[in-house]
Amino acid sequence: MSDHFLYLKALLEQKRLYLAGPTLISEDPFGLIILEAETELEARNLLENDLSVKAGIQQIAEFRPIRLSLTRK
């Protein structure tokens, strides 16, 4: 999982990652990632290039494009 964290950290530094984190329900682990991308294909590629996804350790459970309407500064 350290590769996963380092990959997300690199995306954050590149300003491609908006936020990421796990839920706190240990019996049903799940994480949320919000990326900043120009297209859906670009966002999917960013997710699929995560080494933990490539290795089958994690999977993309759902993919939903969103438009942020409100954010805190």
73 domain residue, yes or no = no
Count of the separate structural domains present in the chain: 1
* CATH assignment at residue 48: 3.30.70.1060
Domain that holds residue 36: 2-54
CA distance 10 to 8: 5
Question: Which pTM does this prediction carry?
Answer: 0.86
pLDDT digits (tens, 9 = 90+) for 3-25: 999 999 999 999 999 999 999 99
Provide the terminal-to-terminal Cα distance of the chain, rounded to the nearest Å: 30
Specify which residues 20 forms β-bridges with. 33
β-strand pairing of 31-35 with 17-22: antiparallel
**Residue range 32-45, pLDDT digits in tens:** 999 999 999 999 99
